[in-house]
A = this chain, B = another copy of it.
Amino acid sequence: MADGPVRFGIIGCATIARKLCRAIALAPNATLHALGSRSIEKARSFAAANGLSGAVKLYGSYGDVLDDPLVDAVYLPLPTSLHATWAVAAARKGKHVLLEKPAAVDAAELDRILEACEASGVQFMDGTMWLHHPRTAKMREIVSDRGRFGELKSINSISMFAPNREFFEDNIRVKPDLDSLGALGDLGWYCIGAFLWAAGYRLPSAVSALPDVTRNSAGVVLSCSAVLYWGLAHETAATFHCSFLAHVSMDLAVVGSNGSLHLKDLAIPIEEGSASFEFTPGAKFVDLHIGWSVKPEKVLVPTELPQEALMIQEFASLVQGIRNSGCSPERKWLEMSRKTQLVLDAVKKSIDAGCILVHL
């Protein structure tokens, strides 16, 4: 089994675990070995509803999954407030950790998780799927092309969807004790991650929330906006709006001095088999300003596996390297999560303090 597929244990039966079960099944180097819930009935019910193989071990507690010596790695789709406890416990048991986003309630909790992973020599990755889509690699080629794209000038992102009424009553993402970050954690995470991605993971120098924040009666953010600034004079800005209160939109616009890039479906591509973006290189207004010299070019990027299966494959491949070849964990995933969390913390601080400018 040393060079066999990575054996996953899933801790928690959240809705998103259904998507990850399928992703683990699709990834060529991963297999679902165990599933643990707070009760064995819940685990059985989830397994039946999702057609899991009888070979998957079902456990009636989270701890039992961590005690299973055959589990190489755990995927944690738990409410954010439980991340630190269970991710640290998993790392201490030598399990590699794939952690649903937002990674933690704040950077201090994330640091406890990351320190436990480093101490145990296990791989850490957060569950940001879009980073693994081949579209993202194709976009990286473009924004890093100093000729065709030029210098980064402006970034904008919106990330929203309008869930049904039950969501606002029952969903963990609107409960202060479970997911205190609300829409900022669930959707703002994507915008902030996209800004850092576009900026080559340079941290902004400062951030500020905008006063259009909406909270539920328990104080959880249902929608908010913020601006990130880079440079001493704040000369580059990135604005985002995230919301549980508006129609599905997952826009990203990245504009450079020589070209611009747009997409509409950052976190969840409209179609599974391929995703697109538009790139407009070197457009000028034509004579008389009655049109543009260059039309936006639609770049279609097919993918054989959905982005979540590519995430599993990448994570499992790193785990195999550690397990089979003595490689060290890949630190870049940890650093990307940590920077995203630091910016998210700063936005939260700004919201809570009345939209002050928070320096990083």
Contact = CB atoms under 8 A, between A and B. Distances in A.
Interface of A: 16, 18-19, 22, 150, 153-154, 156, 158, 160-162, 210-212, 214, 223, 225, 227, 229, 233-237, 239, 241, 243, 245-249, 251, 253, 255-260, 262, 264-265, 268-272, 278, 280, 282-285, 288-292, 295-296, 306, 308, 357
B241 A212 contact: no
A262 B270 CA distance: 15
Given A156-B156, A241-B237, A270 B253 contact: no
A272 B245 contact: no
Contacts of A292: 248, 265, 268, 270-271
B225 A211 contact: no
A272 B247 contact: no
A280 B247 contact: yes
Contact of A247 (B212, B243, B259, B278): B259
A249 B255 contact: yes
A285 B212 contact: no
A251 B247 contact: no
Contacts of A296: 264, 270
Contacts of A234: 210-212
A249 B241 contact: no
Given A214-B235, A270-B291, A247 B241 contact: no
Contacts of A265: 292
Given A161-B285, A257-B162, A257-B245, A290 B270 contact: no
Most B Cβ at <10 Å: residue of A153, A256, A282, A285: A153
20 contacts: A19-B288, A153-B246, A153-B247, A156-B239, A156-B241, A161-B284, A210-B237, A211-B237, A212-B235, A214-B235, A225-B227, A246-B256, A247-B256, A249-B280, A251-B253, A268-B289, A268-B290, A269-B291, A270-B292, A272-B291
Given A212-B235, A247-B255, 20 more contacts: A16-B289, A19-B289, A154-B243, A154-B246, A161-B284, A161-B285, A210-B237, A211-B229, A212-B236, A214-B235, A247-B259, A248-B260, A248-B284, A249-B280, A251-B262, A262-B264, A264-B280, A264-B296, A268-B292, A290-B306
Chain B CB within 10 Å, residue with most, of A212, A253, A268 = A212
Contacts of A150: 247
A186 B306 CA distance: 44
B262 A257 contact: no
Nearest to A149: B247
B239 A241 contact: yes
B288 A22 contact: yes
Nearest to A21: B288
B161 A158 contact: no
A180 to B, nearest CB: 21
Contacts of A161: 284-285
A227 B162 CA distance: 23
A55 to B, nearest CB: 22
Contact of A248 (B264, B270, B285): B285
Contacts of A241: 154, 156, 237, 239
Contacts of A223: 153
A256 B243 CA distance: 11
Contacts of A210: 227, 234, 237, 239
